[in-house]
Amino acid sequence: MAASMTVGTGAPPAPGDLSGDGSQGLLDPSPEPKQLPELIRIKRDGGRLSEADIRGFVAAVVNGSAQGAQIGAMLMAIRLQGMDLEETSVLTQALAQSGQQLEWPEAWHQQLVDKHSTGGVGDKVSLVLAPALAACGCKVPMISGRGLGHTGGTLDKLESIPGFNVTQSPEQMQALLEQAGCCIVGQSEQLVPADGILYAARDVTATVDSLPLITASILSKKLVEGLSALVIDVKFGGAAVFPNQEQARELARTLVGVGASLGLRVAAALTAMDKPLGRCVGNALEVEEALLCMDGAGPPDLRDLVTTLGGALLWLSGHAGTQAQGAARVAAALDDGSALGRFERMLAAQGVDPGLARALCSGSPAERRQLLPRAQEQEELLAPADGTVELVRALPLALVLHELGAGRSRAGEPLRLGVGAELLVDVGQRLRRGTPWLRVHRDGPALSGPQRRALQEALVLSDRAPFAPPSPFAELVLPPQQ
């Protein structure tokens, strides 16, 4: 896949789309606040909401005066009618200001960076990128999430390390940044409470895929971090929110444009999510693979994405003269052990026994596996025919692992942290019939017939000659004037 670069312009791609320039609205706030039913009607009928309207709605969400049905109705109206750039910027700012703001020492101002991903199968980039950026002189206050979909989120993966504590106060976060240069924590009730309420409501009202709501949710959490620069990994493909690159680009341009309007330098990378990232899927297995990447080894696609995203961030924040120089610095941090050292410091600072943190970061892959949760059984699947691996579809693999306990269907559900799968083959590789291609780590009984069929159908073979697998990175959308 050829990589390319585009620059966000802020020009409206389509009427009613949230990338519009918003030049006609938000001028004269109403002297008296409108009632919620009137606000819902305005948006339902395709009207534009003033700044006072949007802030009134967010205030009602936070103080509890908005009923659940009213919140759902407004979310659906926004989903169907859209918001322009200015409306989306105001919504983002109102969500960010609904709770506590993080404050850092003045000297850190240019050092604060972060990364966000729209989510994918086997996506363990944050576990590697945060300590690698810290090793390059950045401060990374990463507020992350849990998985509600196929497999666990970043916090779930880290919690497969015994003792790791994702609950940290703003004061504790500052201490973590002083000690390790990075922290990965959960969203507290004090930070962006309005987004927490809307996020839960979106999940049960079929409004998860609304561009303005996605944008406001992502950027509001990042605004409170007081960042110098942010890179967002927008996934597209068979196992992503957006099936094609064009839809992902629309979200990317919106994120970049809204970020610029709020004084935040945002770059958005478009990356393919048809196959799993790396070779491992599942919480503890992904921690093992992240450690391998920080050894300077591991799957090339994971390393490529870590260095590409990290290089863009170092360039955007002024820590590197070019993206290529930034990527080289991140690669050096993976190869010289400094990223692994920062990861060890972060583990110990966030509750992991220092001896365990040291053993995890200095041990062999076999030793690490003994220290992390393990599934009770392993089961291998064999290639059904000769052929070249064209693709391993991520979605059916993720759905089966979800059934086996690697993911959750509702918030608070416990996960089986050792459950997962290892790909034993690479895309582009020639396979002989009967060769093991997938190792499933499971706690329960043997795979059912439908589960085995679903997994075997995830393996796509062709007759063509072996080939080098493409990079998942496709395109970088940059802020104006960058």
Contact 424, 439 (CB under 8 A): yes
CB neighbour list of residue 20: distance below 8 Å, 6 or more residues apart: 12, 84, 85, 86
Residue 330, token pair as written in the block: 């991140």
| Residue 323, SS3 per DSSP | helix
Indicate if 410 belongs to the active site. Answer: no
Q: Which of 146, 157, 221, 279 is catalytic?
A: 221
CB neighbour list of residue 171: distance below 8 Å, 6 or more residues apart: none
Q: Which of 114, 123, 156, 304 is catalytic?
A: 114
Contact 195, 221 (CB under 8 A): yes
Spatial distance between the Cα atoms of 132 and 361, rounded to a whole number of angstroms: 14
Find the helix or strand (DSSP H, E) in which 285 lies: helix 283-294
Spatial distance between the Cα atoms of 272 and 469, rounded to a whole number of angstroms: 12
306-341 burial, b for 16+ CB within 10 Å, e for fewer?
Answer: bbbbbbbbbbbbebbeebeebbebbbbbbeebbbbb
Residue 461, token pair as written in the block: 């073979």
Spatial distance between the Cα atoms of 43 and 20, rounded to a whole number of angstroms: 16
Indicate if 157 belongs to the active site. Answer: no
Task: Provide the strand spans (E) within 285-423.
Answer: 377-382, 387-392, 420-423
Indicate if 114 belongs to the active site. Answer: yes
Indicate if 221 belongs to the active site. Answer: yes
Q: 321: which DSSP letter?
A: S
Q: Which of 19, 92, 98, 117 is catalytic?
A: 117
Indicate if 202 belongs to the active site. Answer: yes
Sign of the dihedral defined by the CA atoms of residues 31, 36, 42, 46, in that order = positive
Measured in whole angstroms, how far is the alpha carbon of residue 396 from the centre of its chain?
20
Q: Which of 151, 154, 215, 261 is catalytic?
A: 154
Q: For residue 307, which of 150, 84, 128, 158 has the smallest C-alpha distance? A: 128
Contact 482, 6 (CB under 8 A): no
Indicate if 92 belongs to the active site. Answer: no
Q: Which of 151, 217, 220, 271 is catalytic?
A: 217
Q: Torsions phi, psi of 29, nearest 5?
A: -60, 145
Q: Which of 146, 157, 202, 329 is catalytic?
A: 202
CB neighbour list of residue 207: distance below 8 Å, 6 or more residues apart: 72, 75, 76, 78, 79, 201, 213
Q: Which of 222, 249, 275, 416 is catalytic?
A: 222
Indicate if 115 belongs to the active site. Answer: yes
Residue 271, token pair as written in the block: 């990356």
Q: Which of 79, 116, 235, 279 is catalytic?
A: 116
Contact 116, 233 (CB under 8 A): yes
Indicate if 439 belongs to the active site. Answer: no
Indicate if 235 belongs to the active site. Answer: no
Spatial distance between the Cα atoms of 266 and 256, rounded to a whole number of angstroms: 5
Catalytic residues: 114-117, 154, 202, 217, 221-222
